[in-house]
Amino acid sequence: MIVMALRPAVAVAVVKAQVAPLRQQVASLEAAAVAEAEKNRVLHESLLFAAAKSGDTAGVLAMLHHTSLSVDFARAGGGTLLITASFSGHLGVVEALLGKGAEVNKARTDGATALHAASQEGHLGVVEVLLGKGAEVDMACTAGVSPLYVASQDGHLGVVEALLGKGAEVDKACTDGTTALYAASEQGHLGVVEVLLGKGADVDKACTDGATALYISAQNGHLGVVGPLLGWGAVVNNACTDGASPLWIASQNGHAGVVEALLGKRADVDKARISGATALYTAAQNGHLAVVEALLGKGADVDKARTVGGVVTTPLQVATRNGHGAIVEILTRHAAGS
């Protein structure tokens, strides 16, 4: 049998033809291995964060030991194991993670830290541990929100006291100018309001639209908060940029008790918004009879009108248009007697 030698070029082509499928097989195997590794990583990540969320300290430690995931590994959005455990209030997990070297001030992409999470949910024990490990008490989110702000907003008095005890800035404001006092007043958390005022909070500090703690508490009808704010010297006639005063907004929303408290502190009964609408006008417009009576009892001008687009409207006219018969009657009597 005669064996013919292949020309070099032909031999190379034959070898390439034989190797190409092998390379494809190797590439497929490598891709499959990478995909499997990623699948396992995602599974381990999910199990690890589930353990942190549920308070399974042993499970967290075991998975950290047997996986390549770091104690400071962050998910999409920047959430870490420490933030997850702090939000859920699992003190044991928090202590274990800190013991493993977790970065106490590591933040999510929005700037929130473990201290924010624990403060928001009112987990005092976790807050104290984080502060003890060097958590920055005034570290703010991208919107300027501090741990003290979220704790005050949600009425967590013990956490508020702990943060203040570590030197939290009592008047630290968000980007919109709102402070912890504003947030607590908005939600009606009297205990928090009193603590903040006792620590020197500026009772008249206004946000970017001019609203103060007194304004927002009056708007929401929190009479129990309005009283102490007035007692601490809140300026009763401070108005928003549109001219609305605490008396105006309380009258609009029908909070008769708040209206009486403000009038008792000599609120300007005829103070109007830029449009000319007074507290009496807005109360008449919305059918708040008790408020109308209180305002008239303090000498509100029954004829003071609102002007928009050249159209002049009095309280009597707007009450008539909106069908508030009882208010029409009392305004008519006062108009006749003036």
Note whether 94 and 85 are within 8 A (CB). Answer: yes
Residues 242 and 338 in one domain: yes
pLDDT at 311: 87
In-domain check, residue 317: yes
Whether the pLDDT of residue 1 is over 60: the answer is: no
**Domain termination residue (choose one: 128, 151, 169):** 169
In-domain check, residue 18: no
pLDDT at 64: 87
Domain count, the chain: 2
In-domain check, residue 92: yes
Per-residue pLDDT band for 24 (boundaries 50, 70, 90) equals low
Whether the pLDDT of residue 337 is over 90: the answer is: no
Q: What is the mean pLDDT of the chain?
A: 90
Please report, for the domain that includes residue 121, its CATH number. Answer: 1.25.40.20
Note whether 127 and 97 are within 8 A (CB). Answer: no
In-domain check, residue 254: yes
Report d(CA 337, CA 332) in Å as an integer: 9
In-domain check, residue 37: no
The string of pLDDT tens digits covering residues 174-220 is: 999 999 999 999 999 999 999 999 999 999 999 999 999 999 999 99
In-domain check, residue 306: yes
**Domain termination residue (choose one: 169, 192, 215):** 169
In-domain check, residue 69: no
DSSP per-residue codes, 167-225:
T--TT---TTS--HHHHHHHHT-HHHHHHHHHTT--TT---TTS--HHHHHHHTT-HHH
**Which of 106-115, 210-219, 288-297, 329-338 is least confident?**
329-338
The whole-model pTM stands at 0.87
Per-residue pLDDT band for 338 (boundaries 50, 70, 90) equals low
What percentage of the chain exceeds 90 in pLDDT? 75
**Domain span at 270:** 237-338
**Domain termination residue (choose one: 143, 169, 195):** 169
